[in-house]
């Protein structure tokens, strides 16, 4: 991450106030092997999740902007699938060091939405040998993902609304008796 919101290769970097030294923010978590993971405060987790949402939306926008006909859409959708999967995997990896208790509820919901989307992507892969990529299912999953992710992350959403949207996308929580 960079301070100041400079652009890197034409992509807007995460904007962080100049006065914040990124090496000084947050805590450090060490595993048994001595590997260090930086744990950042909620506002930085929020920014990372917002950046993921923005990048996924941009990849979908590019797909639709440059589609000339159904054949080009079918040809280019797998590229969007790859970009979407990479951003979801990156966000999932960045959230991995955080326990549920360490995250705000809306960030936990976003993590669940990301995990569910990765499962959906794995179930509908464009590069499988059986050539069974369902384009309409992929398009529906992308729209539902963007909606659920945005709804869970938005400041204007109540806790009850976030939970309902997350459950609509991910399914209700499993009841253990």
93-141 pLDDT per residue, tens: 989 888 888 889 999 999 999 999 999 999 998 876 677 788 889 999 9
Q: Report which of 80, 158, 81, 148 is spatially closest to residue 114, judged by C-alpha positions.
A: 148
Residues 30 and 69 in one domain: no
d(CA 152, CA 52): 13
3-26 pLDDT per residue, tens: 444 333 333 334 444 444 444 545
Residue 98 confidence (pLDDT) = 85
Residues 25 and 66 in one domain: no
Residues 5 and 85 in one domain: no
d(CA 102, CA 111): 13
Alpha helices in the chain (DSSP H): 42-65, 70-95, 105-123, 135-153, 159-170
Residues 103 and 166 in one domain: yes
92 found inside a domain: yes
What element of type H or E holds 40?
none
Residues 68 and 111 in one domain: yes
Residues 35 and 49 in one domain: no
175 found inside a domain: no
The bridge status of strand 7-8 relative to strand 11-12 is antiparallel
What is the domain extent for residue 32?
1-39
114 found inside a domain: yes
Residue 174 confidence (pLDDT) = 65
76-92 pLDDT per residue, tens: 888 899 999 999 999 99
Residue where the block lists tokens 């326990």: 99
54-72 pLDDT per residue, tens: 999 999 888 888 777 777 7
């Amino acid at each position: 991450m960079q301070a100041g919101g400079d652009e890197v290769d034409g992509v807007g970097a995460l904007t962080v106030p100049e006065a914040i030294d990124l090496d000084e923010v947050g805590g450090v978590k060490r595993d048994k092997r001595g590997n260090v993971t930086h744990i950042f405060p909620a506002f930085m987790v929020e920014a990372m999740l917002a950046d993921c949402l923005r990048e996924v939306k941009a990849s979908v926008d590019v797909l639709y902007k440059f589609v000339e006909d159904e054949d080009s859409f079918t040809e280019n959708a797998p590229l969007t699938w790859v970009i979407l999967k990479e951003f979801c995997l990156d966000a999932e990896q960045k959230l991995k060091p955080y326990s549920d208790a360490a995250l705000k509820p809306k960030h936990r919901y976003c993590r669940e939405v990301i995990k569910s989307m990765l499962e959906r992507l794995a179930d509908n892969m464009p590069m499988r040998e059986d050539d069974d990529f369902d384009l309409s299912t992929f398009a529906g999953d992308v729209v539902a993902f963007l909606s659920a992710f945005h709804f869970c992350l938005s400041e204007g959403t109540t806790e009850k609304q976030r939970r309902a949207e997350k459950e609509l996308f991910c399914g209700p929580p499993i009841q253990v008796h």
